[in-house]
Structure 1
Amino acid sequence: MGIFIIGFVAIYFAIRLFLTLMFLAAPALVLASAATSSLGRDEFPEPDEFVDPHLESLLKQIDDALTVLSEAVNEYYQSGESNGIALTSKSNGTRFDARKSLGRQLNAALDDAANKIAEYQSLRVPYIDRRQSLKEQYYTEVKKWARPKSTGAANWVGAIVFGVTLIASLATGIGDLAANVVVANPYNARPGLIAGFIAGALGYGITYYAVMRTKIARSNYSAVYEERAAFLAKLNMAETTDAQGQPDEPGATGSDHLKEFQDDPAENWHVILNVGADATIDQIKAAYREAIKQYHPDNFEGRGRKIMDLANQETRRINAAYEAAKDLRQF
């Protein structure tokens, strides 16, 4: 009988303790879960919305051209070595002795390749920046997907840490809590409430962040994005080839094989300016100033006619996008 009474009292105190802790912790946990869930999304985001096939196609062509040029440079050096043409110390071993005709020919070829490599690298920089911006937008959506999936574990950890801290803060531990704290008047435990809430919030936040990072890592979002981008680039190139009626020359390295990156400024002004569709007027103005500074033809003075043409095209597109934004937002 005595064991039965002790067990009954223990269960009674345990129930009171659990209800009290839940009464105190549950509202905060519900609010935290609601806040994080409201900022989330249910479905894993598809990368297609954040991959621009034209941009990926252009970058692939540039990278292919750089690969061909790099292989050509290696072949030039191998040709010079196999024909006994020495590299000069004055050029730090980058150019051949020009006293022989073959040496002069190889130097001219190396200079031409170096100029083309510099040209393609200059073309590549703004598109890499734009691609990175799109990928970061995709990552933001992946984080939204991971948020609701991180609240469950965070709730448990937050509640447990809150309860342990609250109990530990009382003078006589569980007995004091069970004897003096009830659902009807839980704030008798107020000496430990502040410590409990702080510890619970830290436990919730750390767990939420850790679980979310784990979910994002396991989603392998970067590989998903890269794989889809590569596929859409190939598809776009195939469609372009069909439209033109003939494929590009294999291994072609001339700028004529680079397709101009086109967007409809009126429809895609926010994409061109690298801002969200709901960006504020100040954000639009700042993005325009940054874009026009980056692509302004003055930055490419002396870099070659084709680079200047591209810079002029980009400047026109940016200005058209800005005008479209001004018309839409009426500023």
Structure 2
Amino acid sequence: MIRALSITRSIHDWLYSSMSENMAYFIEMVLIAIVYLAIFAVAGLFLVLIERRVAAWFQLRIGPNRVGFQGLLQTMADALKLLSKELTGTEKADKFLYNLAPYFVIITALMALAVIPFTQDFQAFDINIGILFLIAISSIGVIGILLGGWSSNNKFALIGAMRSGVQTISYELSIGLSLLTMILITGSLQLSEIVEVQKSGWLIVQGHIPAIIAFMIYMIAGTAETNRAPFDMAEAESELGAGFHTEYSGMKFAYFFLAEFINMFIIAAIATTVFFGAWLSPFGITESIPILGVFWFLAKAMVLVFLMMWFRWTFPRLRVDQLLTLEWKYLLPLNLMNIVIMALIVWLNLTIQF
């Protein structure tokens, strides 16, 4: 379902009154795609700038401070540089798959972004299997990484791609189980309904200790899912160069690079929606002032993004065996026990109410 503000409702009415229904629907989809592409580009550049600022802060450096006021246009200059770079590749690469791989990564990130509820009126598609859709889309994204590493005909890229595949498949279990723990409270996979349940209190509060444990596991697994330090074995510079995108340059490299930051934002946005009430403010004023909903959503999401950046510049990189041991011997059993505890809490509350 496409939700619209008053201005978008006016555009909707004008389109359907001026042309055929099919053509109006097609133009609406194109406009929505353009809006989300713009959000994707701006958010990616902004997050790269924030990452560089946070890195400088942790390392007692100044960071970007030359291009634009306080370096605000530095990432824009970097993007223009990547646009102007030559698209190179290896002679023995599988050309079709080599060129296809970056689009797998970028399209899956865009599809996941489309179901995120920024406010009650700013959500492209509110489907009744929202959480399941997000988990499924995140599983498809790793195909682009595997294709890019394999088709490059480079042993370092292949090793990075295989590491990423193993890591993603492993930590998807913890992400899915931690979200399932919270779904037991809401009884719905639809993101808008999950937010509605939280009008009486954020789920991280309603769910007591199991919800806090689920949130901690989700953030650890989400950081690993995006191949960010200390779980960046797929891109270990000291071992693999750039990892799975070693042979990419120009905008194809930029697609992989931006997708990592957008995926980091998506992980934070899902946590904001499921654990912290999405656009709902702690003061109950979002309903009367809708624009504040965007502010609260982005504020919560950026705090979680900062937390993930904090991980990167604080902890050393794990070895592959340590990375897999953390998931299969610790996070997965803890998640399973946590789901049982949450199910008992929900069942006891329902029994008492009955």
Q: TM-score, normalised by structure 2?
A: 0.22
When Rg is computed on C-alpha atoms for both structures, the one with the higher figure is 1
Q: Kindly indicate whether structure 1 or structure 2 has the higher relative contact order, using CA contacts under 8 Å at least 6 residues apart.
A: 1
